Structure 1
Amino acid sequence: MARPMGSVRLKKANPVTLAIGAALCLFILYFLLGPATSDFSASRKATAASHPLSPPTSPFRKSTGGKLAAPPVAHYNLNNVTTTPTPLENSENVLLLTPMARFYPEYWDNIMRLDYPHELITLGFILPKTREGNDAMRELQKRIAKTQQQGPEKDRFKSIIILREDIDPPLVSQDEKERHKMKNQKVRRSAMAKARNSLLFSTLGPSTSWVLWLDADVVETPPTIIQDLAQHDQGVLAPNCYQRFWNEETKAMDERPYDFNNWQDSPIALELAQKMSPDDILVEGYSEMATYRTLMAYMAQEDGRLHEEMPLDGVGGAALLVKADVHRDGAMFPAFAFYNLIETEGFAKMSKRLGWQPFGLPNYKVYHYNE
């Protein structure tokens, strides 16, 4: 018998399909009508709320009786933050800061060997938004994951902070020869100063006692460098940065000075500065601009005392231990000509004018990577 025109036969629905559809409807209703805040884990709430650099935001506030509790108020008494010649005995917190354009495995291996308690060390990094910076970021994250998540408890650092620069790098290449061309120094070091300041101001916490600046290409230091430098009780202290290399003449490994930014001023350098425009800078280590300063790089002695000090007017940033109070007093890295100095050398000048005389240790060496 023929069906009437226009009638439609309905296919019986599959029970499984109906069940899935009903579950989906319930999920959508819960999503639209449920609580606005996410169900964060208790551990995540505790971490966010306790970290001094990450105050709790709305999702992390605890509710009492259906009402959101007021955000907590943290109190810090800086008079209780000690900075002593015996930081280990006083459990003083150290902030280790590294601007990083390239990742050197030897750098990471070296900081892993530091015998200062890692639970008292916070690491801070800033990396440029370049292809090399992206590569360095990936390698850095691999080491961090291995150390912080998989490594033994004693190797894990108190916390690790990573920043990405929000400015374009002035130099495309980070090759050593390109970096050290005299014509590139002002723009290069201005960018480095901005990176250092961003890293410093974003990471310096109220419980920090010491700041250890360590460049990413410094691959060898004594494991006791923090204790060794802190025992001098100086506001700004620089070890001598050298470089190991293969000497073709002697057919043996040798070493040579590397960082020439640790220096004592000279009358000739001061006279050169007086003749310069306020926007010009003096740079060290170039024959085109002979300053005749006393360079700590050449002051090391074979039989010299390891902890012998010398006052400095300029410092480099390869390795530098700074009391946190020096930075809190306002000493930063000028990205502009400051008394014709810039970046770390300008920092030394600023520290000195704030009453913190920089010093160096000519016989205490750290070593730079040899490209």
Structure 2
Amino acid sequence: MAFTSARSIRRTNPITLVLGFVLFLGFVLFLLTPSTPSSPASSLPRPQPKGSRPPIRHFQLNNVTTTGDPIGNEERVLILTPMVKFYQEYWDNLLKLSYPHELIELGFILPKDRNGAIALKKLDAAVKKVQSGPKKNRFKGVTIMRQDFDSTVSQVEKERHALKAQTERRAAMARARNSLLFTTIGTETAWVLWLDADMVETPHSLIQDLASHNRPVIVPNCFQRYKENGVDAIRPYDYNSWAESDIALDMAKKMGPDDVIYEGYTDMPTYRPLMAMIYKENPGTDIHEEMELDGVGGTALLVKADVHRDGAMFPPFSFYHLIETEGFAKMAKRLQYKLYGLPNYLVYHYNE
């Protein structure tokens, strides 16, 4: 009986009951706890990068200023260039722009043909050299795109400026501009400077000079340097900056819906006042003299980013019988923006 009594005491010991309860509770928790992935990397919470963006971002576009003092107000400039050929003179001129490079972003779009591949290789090398060089020379950012469509227009200057080539050439250029614009414009972009890849000479203060007028759209006068009988001379190049004429408006009324008026061709005498022909080559001429325009060229074109945000793009189709940059001008005017040109402020196009 003594042996039996001892076993009874051990079974009813409180310590035994507590240990049994703990073991039972642990078993229940084990069954209820969900299994974890076998990979140790995925089982751990991923650390958030320092300064990571929250899921929801807020931007106040009203805080993006476009003023006559863009440097003082640290306004971001987006320089956009459709590029078929890489001209070293273009790149050298771009690097000499005195606007702070930390406030400039660059965007390029190149065709997906052989010419584009050659240009891309040179551009990529030039960009990498600058962006890995002294910090003061680096740009805020650089975007390089390849077109997702083909263009069969010849790049020989005489052939690409022939009247019969204009519809295809200008439509392709408009599509390239739109692709580049819609991909690169950011919430902090204040100004967009369109600068053609064959613009090889501008004043170093080009951006702040144009922005100082504080106009929604403003364009300088594009000329070309050449030699005449061994003597240096200049001549007008871009005829797409003009004021409207009654003759051109009457001409448009007689056209079909898909027809386009191309400026600067004897086969289409519009008698529009062309900014290229208003340049005054006199000492002391005011380079900031303005004229109001109805059409603009895109060789060097400064646009307030809000004009693009409001919907002014480059139509690759007949828009009021205009296309590409001149069609953009019409869109901007329909949005109640005014356009201006500087007939005595010269920039220079490459002379082939």
TM-score by length of 2: 0.85
Q: Equivalent residue for 1:179?
A: 160
2-structure distance, mates of 1:89, 1:259: 32
1-structure distance, mates of 2:130, 2:105: 13
Q: CA deviation at 1:246?
A: 1.0
Identity of aligned pairs, percent? Answer: 59
Q: Equivalent residue for 1:277?
A: 256
Residue pairs, 1:149-168, within 5 angstroms:
149=132, 151-168=133-150
Q: Equivalent residue for 1:297?
A: 276
2-structure distance, mates of 1:243, 1:196: 23
- Aligned CA-pair RMSD: 1.8
Aligned residue identity for 1:245: Y
Aligned residue identity for 1:324: A
Any conservation in 2 of the 1:170–1:191 contact (CA below 8 Å)? Answer: no
Q: CA deviation at 1:266?
A: 1.1
Residue pairs, 1:218-367, within 5 angstroms:
218-248=199-229, 251-303=230-282, 304-367=285-348
Residue pairs, 1:43-192, within 5 angstroms:
72-149=55-132, 151-171=133-153, 173-192=154-173
Q: CA deviation at 1:156?
A: 0.1
Give the match's secondary structure for 2:267.
Answer: helix
Alpha-carbon deviations, 1:304-324, whole Å to 9, x = none? 311000000100000000000
**Does the C-alpha gap of structure 1 residues 82 and 130 become closer, same or farther in structure 2, counting only changes over 3 Å?**
same
Q: Equivalent residue for 1:205?
A: 186
Q: How many residues align?
A: 311
Q: CA deviation at 1:302?
A: 1.6
Structure with greater Cα Rg: 2
1-structure distance, mates of 2:193, 2:47: 34
Q: CA deviation at 1:170?
A: 3.2
Give the match's secondary structure for 1:226.
Answer: helix
Q: CA deviation at 1:175?
A: 1.2
Q: Which runs of 5+ in 2 are unaligned?
A: 1-37
Runs of 4+ in structure 1 deviating by more than 2 angstroms, as ranges, are: 32-37
